[in-house]
Structure 1
Amino acid sequence: MSLRQVVVVGGSIAALTAVEMLRMEEFDGRITVLSDEEVPPYTRVPLSKGVLAGTESIDDIVLAPLSDDVDLRLRTPATALDIEAQVVHTPAGPVRYDGLVIATGARARRLGGPDQVERVLRSHDDCVRLRDDLAAASSVIIVGGGFLGMEVASTARALGKDVTVVDLAPPLDRLLGTVVGGRVRSVATQAGVRIVVTDGGVRLLGAPTPTGVELVDGTHLEADLVVSAVGDVPNVEWLAGSGVQLHGGVVVDHHCRVAPNVVAAGDVTVMSQGNGDLTRSPHWTNAVDQARAAIRALLHGDEAAPYRPSQYCWTEQFGLDVKLVGDLDPQGEPTVLDGSLEQGSALLAWPDATAPRTVIALNHHTPPAKLKRLLRPTAQARA
């Protein structure tokens, strides 16, 4: 191995996995991790659940500590990259590398103006602020009905808050399809969540802290607290002018490579699907798997196996555990492989059982590895 000094930029699960993978692949050189956060790498999964509810703390979600031979520099954001000189610039000075891992993740997308203090949920700091505000609120509006928005809604209702979810389409349909999405919404509404679907965007009302939203038809909705859960934005600004190809994220090849001796992994990346389209997969499993593939490519080049997305994601909300493998937004009626929706536990496949492109386990005990094996071979090859 010719690399002796690898720099990992980011404090995400992708960054931590990259460090672990370097050592697993017997890299014995220097590893430096640059993170702009105040705390060591942690898992974000409980932020919308136990941490937001106040039943878990940062100590509960911090990942396995890095070994003493890893130089972890907190509060040290990357500000620029010079590929020719192999230098990452930071406020504390330049950091040289001969191997670089870009794992800067993404930040919450915001709807409000510069005069508004918008509540979002992406980092631990976001969660602490939102948790304190939620504790003082009796009502909350959540703009965005994806996994995150509905998980926040679930936690807020469990805390006894009056909850309204506003979205451009019925929540979760674009992810889980109308059958499972409808089932989750039914459970949510039974739990007391109000769902509002609007034909256009919304405008946050109130400053500095928003206390309502205006729909495109002029309708005003008010609450003590407004939370935006409308997606994320890859953290790529520090790469401007570096020569790294950016197109809605850091463009990587199928080995997760960006440039000679530079790889990227996690939510910051976009990858070609073979037809020219570039797509993101901002899920925990993708971040972990991609980081492993990126390190193998960094150390072994073309000899490393290409990255194949696992197409797996999950959500827990309103007492429901939903696991999905394959294509998002399955269309039509599913084939029931086991259980039933009426019984509250089902294993479902689309379009049929012989060649499924999507499999969803709803409150079903099937483990993720078995779900992945149920996908038809052509779907796995396409991934």
Structure 2
Amino acid sequence: MGGSITATTAAETLRLEGFDGAITILSQESRAPYTRVPLSKGALAGREDVDDITLPLPSDDIELRPGVRAESLDLSRRIVWTEQGPVPWDGLVIATGARARRLAPELNEFVVREHADCLRLQEASTDADSILVVGGGFLGMEIASTLRELGKSVTVVDREPPLQRLLGETVAARIRQVAADRGVQFHIAPDGVTLFGDQATPPRGVQTAAGRTLEADVVISAAGDVPNVDWLARSGLRYTDSGLRVDSRGRVRPDVVAAGDVAACPAPGGGHARIPSWTNAIDQARVAARALIRGDAAPRYDPSYYFWTEQFGLDIKVSGALVSDTELQVNDGWTADANPALLIWGEADAPLRVLGWNHKLRPAQLKRMTRRSPRVMST
């Protein structure tokens, strides 16, 4: 279930594990699966079209059924009910992902989650002079970077300083300074904002709780995502607003697994949490597919907490969970905006987190560095 990198990776893994039965991918979107990574960057800038970001199916014997939306799940009969009718299954991979969190759906707000969203925003921003981005996470800042590169006047508004929660104050402050040097403005609204505009038309601006009004030609919501679990309402599966709960192998039960942005996996500190990243989508899909075939003999999912972002001329790669900046050791190379540097949190020989700042180290090398730490817990 789901037409994404998670679904295609799971299908590929099933074949690599020797499964020779029928594999069907149901996708709500009408087009072939594609990678979402460029949507806030090259695709939004017009440098990449849909053919450039389309994912090839792992093999010719995998059936893709685009434009098929799941409506409900019947576990006892092993049926996914869709708008086109029932689809039976023996094993099920739930990879329905997440959708953009909308702050004011009645205003037909701009978001960036699907390729269609990207095309709509491209068209709207072509003749726009001013852009307001609500949300200063990776997505919001990447959108801001791309549109500033296209010559737009860009303001980012958030409850807290952009990127601080994700990268810590030291690195986030440096990125914000680079962005500010390139003309991006920031506005912090600790109590949030309310979008305003005419019914069923894109919002014209936001109003802060303090009463300040910010207006722009185009207002974009980049306020996180919501896991697509609504269709499971009558299934009996355990889920919350934080996602569908799975075990350390991605299993919901022996014949049902979940992976990617929809899945909440065991967290090192207890409970369950989603890890909405491209790397997690691939790694967790492989583990979940193997669990369908091997059961308890399948390897557990051991998150690397690896992610990256490209914005304002910076290539930032990170491995390891966020820890306090009191444990940060700053590389001597981190003296100018674009100079390559490697930042380490914790002991140098067993880091808790490593960040490459325009650094040539490959992702696999960064992951290996944090795997050495005895304080990084396996799930």
Q: Tell me the distance in 1 between the aligned counterparts of 2:10 and 2:327.
A: 40
Instruction: Say which of 186, 197, 207 aligns to 2:177.
Output: 186
SS in 1 for 2:8: helix
2:349 pairs with 1:354: yes
Q: Tell me the distance in 1 between the aligned counterparts of 2:72 and 2:57.
A: 27
Specify every segment of 5 or more residues in structure 2 that has no aligned partner in the other structure, as ranges: none
SS in 2 for 1:81: strand
2:136 pairs with 1:145: yes
Instruction: Say which of 157, 170, 184 aligns to 1:166.
Output: 157
Return the offset for 1:332.
Answer: 2.8
Instruction: Say which of 261, 265, 288 aligns to 1:294.
Output: 288
Return the offset for 1:337.
Answer: 4.3
Match of 1:121 in 2: 112
Q: Tell me the distance in 1 between the aligned counterparts of 2:235 and 2:214.
A: 44
Alignment of 1:51-70 (within 5 A): 51-70=43-62
Return the offset for 1:322.
Answer: 0.3
Q: Tell me the distance in 2 between the aligned counterparts of 1:298 and 1:22.
A: 8
CA contact (8 A) 2:352 2:373 kept: no
Change in Cα spacing, 1:337 to 1:352, as seen in structure 2 (3 Å) is farther
CA displacement 1:183-237 (0-9 Å, x = unmatched): 1101000000001111211000112210111011000011000000000000001
Alignment of 1:297-308 (within 5 A): 297-308=291-302
Match of 1:200 in 2: 191
CA displacement 1:293-344 (0-9 Å, x = unmatched): 0011000100111111111000000000000111126423621346224362
Specify every segment of 5 or more residues in structure 1 that has no aligned partner in the other structure, as ranges: 1-8
Match of 1:110 in 2: 102
Alignment of 1:40-51 (within 5 A): 40-51=32-43
Match of 1:216 in 2: 209
Return the offset for 1:275.
Answer: 4.3
Q: Tell me the distance in 2 between the aligned counterparts of 1:14 and 1:337.
A: 35
CA contact (8 A) 1:176 1:329 kept: no
Instruction: Say which of 364, 368, 375 aligns to 1:369.
Output: 364
Instruction: Say which of 341, 351, 374 aligns to 1:378.
Output: 374
2:131 pairs with 1:135: no
Q: Tell me the distance in 2 between the aligned counterparts of 1:94 and 1:79.
A: 10
CA contact (8 A) 1:265 1:291 kept: yes
CA contact (8 A) 1:173 1:329 kept: no
Q: Tell me the distance in 1 between the aligned counterparts of 2:304 and 2:47.
A: 31
**TM-score (norm. length: structure 2):** 0.96
2:237 pairs with 1:241: no
CA displacement 1:130-164 (0-9 Å, x = unmatched): 11111121110000000000000000000000000
Alignment of 1:266-305 (within 5 A): 266-273=260-267, 275-305=269-299
Match of 2:88 in 1: 96
Q: Tell me the distance in 1 between the aligned counterparts of 2:355 and 2:210.
A: 36
Match of 1:37 in 2: 29
Match of 1:6 in 2: none
Match of 1:339 in 2: 333
Change in Cα spacing, 1:354 to 1:309, as seen in structure 2 (3 Å) is same
2:312 pairs with 1:318: yes
Q: Tell me the distance in 2 between the aligned counterparts of 1:233 and 1:348.
A: 32
Which amino acid counterpart does residue 107 of structure 1 have in structure 2?
Answer: R
CA displacement 1:279-302 (0-9 Å, x = unmatched): 110000000000000011000100
Which amino acid counterpart does residue 256 of structure 1 have in structure 2?
Answer: G
SS in 2 for 1:174: helix
Change in Cα spacing, 1:16 to 1:123, as seen in structure 2 (3 Å) is same
Alignment of 1:65-76 (within 5 A): 65-76=57-68
Instruction: Say which of 13, 28, 31 aligns to 2:20.
Output: 28
Match of 1:5 in 2: none
Q: Tell me the distance in 2 between the aligned counterparts of 1:186 and 1:210.
A: 28
Cα RMSD (Å): 1.4
